[in-house]
Structures are given as C-alpha cells and as structure tokens.
Structure 1
Amino acid sequence: MGAGFELRNFTSNSTEVIAALDGVDFDKVIGIKNGLGTERVLRLHWHSTTDNFKFGLKFSNVSEAVMSGTRCPTKRELLSVVMSIFDPLGLLGNFVVGAKLLMREVWRHETRWDEPLPVNIAASWEKWRRQLPSVVRYTCPRFYFRNGAPETLQLHTFVDVSENAFAAVTYWRAKNARGEVEVAFICAKSKCAPLKPLTVPGLELQAAVLGMHLQQAVCEAHSFKPNKRLLWCNSTTVIKWVRSKHRKYKPFVQHRIAEVLATTQVSEWRWIPTAENVADEATRANHAIVFGPTVRWVLGPSFLREEEQAWPSEDAVSPDSDEYDEELRPQHALTIVVEDHSLGYTVRQNLSPNSN
C-alpha cells in the first residue's frame, strides 16, 4: 500500500469473510455476487467452495486433430503439450512423468522438430493422450489439516527409481489432540533417468538425493517444523550405503552419500517394500492413472494412518559389513612383473582386487 500497490481483487473460501468484505473499497471482491466459485492461482484452478485445486488444460499451439487423436503429433507439438501442463507442486507427477519419458524417447530417436513421432512411440502417446480428459476432473485438497491443528507432526518422504525415471513425494502425518491421524499430500518431483547408463543402485542413490532436496525445500517453505522426519526407500543397497561406517566407496557413491547426510540423519532413513512405496507410481511409463481425491497418490500410504509399530519392518536390510561390494574402492593392488631377457624388456601390470 505504501509503495502504491493497492489490493485489486480479493476472494476467500469462507462465506463469512466474503460477506465481511462487502462494501470495502476494493475494485472487486470475488464471490459476492455470483457465490463462491473457481479462481486461477499460479495457473492452477482453486475451487473455493470445496477448497480444492483443479487443473484447466489449454493447448493453444497444438492442432485439434492432434488432441482428438486424429493425427499423430510432431516433436514440436508433443513438447508444446508437455509444457502446457503447469504443475509446480507435482500433483500430477505420476501422470506427467509419462509425457516426459515420451519426450526422452523422441530425442533418443533423433526425430526432427516437424516430423511425426515414430510408430513405436505413437502408440504410447495415444494411450497417454486418452487420459487427459480425466485430469480436468481431478481435484486435490489445498488445506493440509482438516481435522484441526496437529499436536504432533511428521514429514514423510518416499523415493523410488526405475530404469526410466526416479521420483520423490512428500506427505504430512498429523495427529491432533483427540488422537486422530491425518495424512496430507505436500508435493512431488520426478525426473527422467539419464540417457547415459547407470547401475540400478546408482539410480536409486540419485533418487535419494532428490528426496533429500525435496524434504529440505518443504522444511524451508513452511513456517511450522515437523517433530520427526523420515525418508523411505525400497533399496536395501542405498540404506546400507547411508548407514555404513567405513565410507570406502568410489567417488560417485561417496559424494552422493555425503550430500545426503549433509542435511539428513542416518536414523531418518527407513526401508520400505516396493508395494508400499507410493513414489513407485511416478517412475513408470505409460501406465493407467486413476485420478481422484481418494487414490493412494493423494492420500499417501495406508500404513501412515496406523501406529508406528505397524509400519514396515527392516528385516530385509542386512547390517553394515566389509563384504565385497562393487562400489568399494580397491584397497590393495597386485603387481605382476614379467621379464623376457631375450627381448630385453620388463612388463609391469597392476591388478586391483576387482579386476577380471
């Protein structure tokens, strides 16, 4: 106000607030004349009556023939479709990852910008395109704690990886004074796996780094802090690396473990079966997505609504040991000296324990 920026529009999800603002000197108090409706917030649609986020998809630069399935899109049109879905919180992370992977495959095939998609990719595109109408009907609650202020608050981050993508998703687990447990979706992030091949444990470690960054961003973005933080991973290898005491790994693993432990504690990392890992839904390409406020992606894993004693156990994680590990740095070298006096030269060859 002091700098000359005056409030122009105002709306609320409360009819009492809207009524109280009636007559205040604003250009427009949204919702007074026509009742509470839908407004756009950072290109998301906020339905103030239900206090839910919705998506309105517009593909202005893409032919109607493409969106109706009459014609296969070009590389340029596919990119336009992907970039038209603005989802800063990752509410559609388990769906948009399919489009990202389609785009990656187009780059792998070296398709030109105005060439149609290759035949083997066109079928995957059509399956993904048919799910777009469901996105418009999809809603996700905006407000975290609908059962009242939490007495105890936990932040849970799930990470997972496939050969195609890796992802992380976060949830609040809140328990109020009455002992009621509530789980709320916060945000998610997914990335395509690099075209340069990595081992599966290496990709799983990349997912752990992504989850660590996502957890840190959530903590920095909120004024309230959780009483407890947990990161869930279904890779026993990553859990073993994080909990190891010797730190004798090769640079790729060693640097990422150091990055993970810079902002997280060893005790915060827990193992989880793949079937219970909700982040798995954002790592699979071209799978059918069920949209709605009651699906696991929005509600979080069911075990979070139970007491901690019922959470997944860690029997599958073996304790740290000095057993052979392909990511361990070689500790010794074996030198073989071959002398051939007839030829007058000496050959020296160093072999590490991992040499074949």
Structure 2
Amino acid sequence: MFHQFYVSSKHRCYLRFLWWEQGDLESEPKEFQMKVHLFGAASSPGCANFGLKYLAHQQRSKFPSAAAFVENNFYVDDGLISVPTTNDATTLITEAQKLCKEGGLRLHKFNSNRSEVLDCVNPSERATSVVSADLKPDLTLTEHTLGMRWHVKSDCLGFYIDLRDKPDTRRGILSVIASLYDLLGFISPFIMNGKCILQDLCRRSIGWDDPLPEDLLVRWEKWKFSLQDVKGLMIQRCYHPQGFGKIVKTELNHFSDASSLAYGACSYLRFENDKGEIHCVLIMAKARVAPLKITTIPRLELTAAVVAARLSVLLKSELDMKIDTEFFWTDSQVVLSYINNEARRFHVFVANRVQIIRANTNPNQWNHVDTTENPADHASRGLCASEILTTNWLTDPEFLWVEERIPPEYFHLTKMACNSAQSKGK
C-alpha cells in the first residue's frame, strides 16, 4: 500500500539511503532518495491513510457509497463492511474499485461469506484463500482479519493461537498473553486470569527470567493448557440470526462489576422484531486487573462503572445503527448512590469518576442487577476458556430475553438506593 503513494519532492531528502553497487562495501556508495513511502517509516501509515481518505473525499459526488466505505470502514489497507444484500455488495465492490482506480490504486484480495458476491470480481483480484478453496473444496476457508480468524463459510469469528515454546518465566508469560489479540473482549475473562498470574509475579518481585514459584507454576500450566479450548471458540459475526425479521427496537445494555482481583464491563445489543421475538448478543467487553495498591471494592465498582460509560461513548460513535434505548447495570448499591447523589461533595477519587459517569450517561439509566445475573461478574472473576460458551457471558442474562426486559424489583432497588443516599447525605 505504501509504495502506491508518492512522497512530495521537497520531503524526499528525509528518505535518503546509501547504496553500494554489487554489495561492494569498499567502493564509494551512491546516495538515493525514496520517491514513495516505505515500510518501516513511522510516517507511512498516516500518510497512506490520509491519501486514501483524500481520494475518497474527492470522488464522493461520483461514488457516494464507495467513498463512505473508504472513509469509514478502512483500517490501514483492510476494508471491512457488512451490507444487507448480495446486490449491494457487488455494487459496492465495483464502485470501490473504480474509485481507487481514479487515484492509481489497485483494490484487490476480495472475500465474502456469500460466494455469489465474488462473481463480479476477477479471479486474480480475489483473496488467496478463495483460490485455494476453489482448488481444494474440502479446505476450511479462513481469513485473518484485524488479528482474528474469520471462518468464511460459517461466518464465525475465531482466535489465532500460536503456541510457540516459551519459557515458564515472567518474560515468557508476558509474551504468551500479549500474543492473544482480542480486540472486542470476547475472551477477556480468560485473558484476565493470565494477567492475574503476571501481576502476582510482579507483586512478589520475581525477575524476568527467574523460575516460577511452585503455586504459580501450577496455575500457569493450567491456564496454558486451556489455550487449546480457545482454538475451538466460534462466535457468530452477525449480531442477530439470519431471517430474524424486521427489527423494531434496538437497545444497548452495559453491565459493570469489580472484585479484589479485577474489574470490568461488558456491553450487549438487544434486538426486538415485529413478532415480539428477542435476541441479545455481546458486542464488546473490557476486563482489567485491580491495581497493586489496595483499593476498596466500592471504589473498584465505581471504576468499573466508568469503563461501562466509556464503552457506551465508543459504541454509539462506531455502531452504524439507531439505538432506541440504553441501560446501565451494576450490582453495587454504593455506586448507584454515588451516581444519583447531588447533596454531598465527594473525595477527589470518587468525585472525578462520578463526574465522568454523569457527563456521559443519565443517572436515570442506571439500575441494579443481582450479582447472580450480572455477566460482568465473569469479567471481574475470570472464566476458563471452556466456560465462555456455557455461561451467560456471550448471550446476556436471562431477564433481558423476555418481553418485559426490566423486572420491577430492580427499579425498586434503584429507587431505594437513591432515597437512602439523599436522606443520609452520602
């Protein structure tokens, strides 16, 4: 991608290099300048992206849908988008190729979960995996997309696990954990367990290459063994099943929780169609280990609520859909008291976080949920990889799957928390 964008002549002096003919280091080197952006320069990704977006802006009137695709759905050189029909997909592909051609760019390596979409694409412009699948029909068709595996035929997302031999040391543990790329947080409760082991090593001041203590070695071996289960995780890419029907209501539900080990938040989309059917799905989550400095559980719960509020801001800016209603859930009555209280000045730690929450959410959106039904409890306490699919982590709590989405007792508990806080001035 970088080589398709020229460098301004006045800036080429910053990309100078020396060249020895025939590799003869005894001869006098020649000095050259790169005319295009090169791989390895910190400026190349930004310059290439600017050029691509600038081209889309120039061609917006001629190719409106393709321009919107390039401006909003490209991540460096990868374009990812979902459209309702195959006709929409083929039209978008044709327009996007024409748009890029206007700037001398070649858009290729196309793939889709619908094989008929690729009929409009020359075989040489399709992804390499598509060509391999044509030659070997039994081959499992997968693509690496933003660090994750996309199983094309089943239209599911999976995870790439590279179990290279790493030493059982603090350095090796960090390398293995960092190699798990989970942008949306689908397996964050599992990764968090590994991070807790790493934090324990830091707490005990274990050196980078020192052998692990016996108790932590057992925990690490168990966690590393369960990495095999992560390979088998298959998560549906689409938010709702095919043929779900006309959606009449879309909700965002955010849950937060904390423990002495960690804190986190998870966000779910809840759809309701014209037949009254309901479908819920996890769309994003974050789990973080608790700080080494001892912090009270109420403060960690409040920090988790901040994570939920920030997830809300991010998702509303990124989701290309209308959100009708939004709810926030916590099992901490103290957090609800903090958020709804306007009569008392808090300490700096609490005041700053309450300010962030109130700036991005409405106190009326916050509700109480029982700990047993709070999926964020998994983010704060951790899960084995095999438990990801067997708990309510990916599917939301049961009470959101019924037509009466919010049980009356939860509103009652929230109201009690607010009244209690105001009467005591807390």
What range describes the TM-score normalised by the shorter chain of this pair?
Answer: 0.7 to 0.9
Could you tell me which residue of structure 2 aligns to residue 11 of structure 1? 111
* Deviation, structure 1 residue 321: 3.7
* C-alpha distance in 1 between matches for 2:286 and 2:111: 30
When residues 316 and 310 of structure 1 are mapped into structure 2, their CA distance, relative to the original with a 3 A threshold, is closer
Q: 2:130 aligns with which of 31, 40, 61?
A: 31
- Give the structure, 1 or 2, with the largest relative contact order (CA under 8 Å, sep 6 or more): 1
* Deviation, structure 1 residue 151: 1.3
* C-alpha distance in 2 between matches for 1:48 and 1:294: 24
When residues 89 and 193 of structure 1 are mapped into structure 2, their CA distance, relative to the original with a 3 A threshold, is same
Give the number of the structure whose residues are more often helix, by fraction: 2
After TM superposition, list the pairs within 5 Å mapping 1:128-147 onto structure 2.
128-146=223-241, 147=244
Instruction: Check the 8 A contact 2:187/2:385 in 1, yes or no.
Output: no
* C-alpha distance in 2 between matches for 1:88 and 1:309: 29
- Please tell me whether residue 298 in structure 1 is matched to residue 397 in structure 2: no
Q: 2:330 aligns with which of 216, 226, 233?
A: 233
- Please tell me whether residue 307 in structure 1 is matched to residue 403 in structure 2: yes
Give TM-score scaled by structure 2 length.
Answer: 0.70
* C-alpha distance in 1 between matches for 2:390 and 2:112: 25
When residues 31 and 269 of structure 1 are mapped into structure 2, their CA distance, relative to the original with a 3 A threshold, is same
1:166-221 CA-partner distances (Å, limit 9, x unpaired): 01011100011222111111011011111111111111100000111111111111
* Deviation, structure 1 residue 293: 4.8
* Deviation, structure 1 residue 139: 0.8
Could you tell me which residue of structure 1 aligns to residue 158 of structure 2? 54
Instruction: Check the 8 A contact 1:21/1:29 in 2, yes or no.
Output: no
Instruction: Check the 8 A contact 1:11/1:29 in 2, yes or no.
Output: no
Could you tell me which residue of structure 1 aligns to residue 221 of structure 2? 126
Give the number of the structure whose residues are more often strand, by fraction: 1
Q: 1:76 aligns with which of 168, 171, 193?
A: 171
Could you tell me which residue of structure 2 aligns to residue 270 of structure 1? 367
When residues 324 and 266 of structure 1 are mapped into structure 2, their CA distance, relative to the original with a 3 A threshold, is closer
Instruction: Check the 8 A contact 2:255/2:328 in 1, yes or no.
Output: yes
Q: 1:85 aligns with which of 180, 190, 205?
A: 180
When residues 277 and 312 of structure 1 are mapped into structure 2, their CA distance, relative to the original with a 3 A threshold, is farther
- Please tell me whether residue 280 in structure 1 is matched to residue 350 in structure 2: no
1:127-182 CA-partner distances (Å, limit 9, x unpaired): 21221110000111111122144210000011000001001011100011222111
When residues 210 and 259 of structure 1 are mapped into structure 2, their CA distance, relative to the original with a 3 A threshold, is same
* C-alpha distance in 2 between matches for 1:310 and 1:156: 11
- Secondary structure at 1:154 match in 2: strand
1:38-76 CA-partner distances (Å, limit 9, x unpaired): 11101200011111101120134x33xx5xxxxxx0111
1:251-275 CA-partner distances (Å, limit 9, x unpaired): 2212211110101001110100000
After TM superposition, list the pairs within 5 Å mapping 1:134-283 onto structure 2.
134-146=229-241, 147-283=244-380
Instruction: Check the 8 A contact 2:267/2:284 in 1, yes or no.
Output: yes
The percent identity for this pair of structures is 30
Instruction: Check the 8 A contact 1:10/1:30 in 2, yes or no.
Output: no
What one-letter code is carried by the residue in structure 2 that aligns with 1:261?
A: R
The RMSD of aligned alpha carbons is: 2.1
Could you tell me which residue of structure 2 aligns to residue 341 of structure 1? none
- Please tell me whether residue 100 in structure 1 is matched to residue 200 in structure 2: no
Instruction: Check the 8 A contact 1:140/1:293 in 2, yes or no.
Output: no
* Deviation, structure 1 residue 78: 0.4
Greater Cα offset, 140-149 or 263-272: 140-149
When residues 56 and 309 of structure 1 are mapped into structure 2, their CA distance, relative to the original with a 3 A threshold, is closer
* C-alpha distance in 2 between matches for 1:322 and 1:227: 30
**What residue ranges of structure 1 are gaps of 5+ in the alignment?**
67-72, 329-356
Greater Cα offset, 313-322 or 48-57: 313-322
**What residue ranges of structure 2 are gaps of 5+ in the alignment?**
1-99
When residues 117 and 297 of structure 1 are mapped into structure 2, their CA distance, relative to the original with a 3 A threshold, is same
1:230-265 CA-partner distances (Å, limit 9, x unpaired): 011000010111111313222221221111010100
> Number of paired residues?
315
* C-alpha distance in 2 between matches for 1:179 and 1:223: 23
When residues 123 and 24 of structure 1 are mapped into structure 2, their CA distance, relative to the original with a 3 A threshold, is closer
* Deviation, structure 1 residue 309: 5.8
* C-alpha distance in 1 between matches for 2:327 and 2:305: 12
Instruction: Check the 8 A contact 2:108/2:127 in 1, yes or no.
Output: yes
Give TM-score scaled by structure 1 length.
Answer: 0.83
